[in-house]
Chain A
């Protein structure tokens, strides 16, 4: 490992320890590292946005004579009016365009992919002669019962109440799986940082002695 890499990895290791110091209590080292990461991320994003979106999608077309690009350019500039109470209304056309086009693009496809395709995925062959058929039965029952829980126009009593109760248990199993995966994700981030610190300590020891 070269000297420059050793120094920069040392800075990274120090910042990792500053962030983790928050686990004991809030302190100026944590605050410094937090502000640094927010500032660097914002600055990095601003430059990425300029060179990957602003320049090729607005400046270069205007320079090439495609003057109609000035219309979205002006719409984008009008968004800055949000910062002024007096001139906020100028941003309404831009917001309308963004929200309208976004909703128009998103709603039909979300309906198709999050509702219709999922509904059709519950229309499964059922039976008890093989494990895939049994799991299909379980899927249909659990989906039905989970949806039953969210029907609040009828009291959850009797057979309906039993289905709703089973639906809650189904949801809890799902939340438990989600919680377990979340724990794994967080531990993964911690594990990688600890391995980085371990490897850096070994390299630092090797470089110094």
Chain B
């Protein structure tokens, strides 16, 4: 078997091993990675930064633990920025495995900033059928969510007294790891013209650039890199600090760098092997 044929028939477990070693070595001996902030992530940050105390931002957190690595950093950074600016938060979860994770984020960050449930933030909880839930929220939050996640009637919460529907929130930021984003674009923005930005996983990011270009969303935080960009801006703005270990996504950027270099090398080796063995025939 020639060298090129051996390259083409390489057992994939060797590839896994090399990538595993690269990831582990980089995790142990990390290094600083310069970060370029994309305009689409910056536009989300600038919008949130432009909110004044007392205004309400809605965050639709629609993901489950399997994509926590990419989306949790976004949720934490945005929540910390909002609470630091005394912006009120209205949160909901439209993914069946996500309610506990949303509660983890908002309860932990609320405790850091001394924010009170019902006054500074309201967590609506989970309801099935995202499309119908969003359509109903566009009329009145109380239709799908008569009570919040903790069973308290919305009408008894001080923050919800003047809140009826999407017209009463400054914008919606949907952080999603699945098809939830489609529903927010179709129903919240499409039907009710709600101002919408999204934070999605890396796999989904490329699919949503057309909506950014068409103006249906005003910002896009794409994957872990997008989360790292948002964390970089939030750190510069003084909303999160490295000392308190609040930069999750940024910790993984060195690993992203080295692993991508290795993957590119494997792609080049594979292509060279393919063309050389094709030429031989």
Contact = CB atoms under 8 A, between A and B. Distances in A.
Given A185-B223, A192-B252, A194-B24, A106 B69 contact: no
Interface string B186-205: 11011100000000011101
B214 A185 contact: no
B214 A188 contact: no
B242 to A, nearest CB: 15
Nearest to B227: A188
Main secondary structure of the interface of B (DSSP, over half): helix
A23 B260 contact: no
Determine the interface band of chain B, counting residues with CB < 8 A from chain A: 35 or more
Nearest to B248: A192
B260 A110 contact: no
Main secondary structure of the interface of A (DSSP, over half): helix
Contacts of A190: 19, 23, 255, 259
Contacts of A181: 202-203, 205-206, 222-223
Given A53-B127, A174-B206, A181-B223, A192 B69 contact: yes
A191 B23 contact: yes
Given A49-B96, A194-B24, A106 B201 contact: no
A191 B259 contact: yes
Contacts, number: 127
Nearest to B205: A181
A183 B214 CA distance: 26
10 contacts: A23-B13, A41-B97, A48-B96, A52-B126, A105-B131, A105-B135, A109-B190, A113-B185, A188-B252, A193-B69
Interface of B: 13, 16, 19-20, 23-24, 27-28, 66-70, 96-97, 99, 125-128, 131-132, 135, 146-147, 185-187, 189-191, 201-203, 205-207, 210, 213-216, 222-225, 248-249, 251-252, 255-256, 259-260, 263
3 A-B pairs closest in CB distance: A185-B202, A192-B69, A121-B214
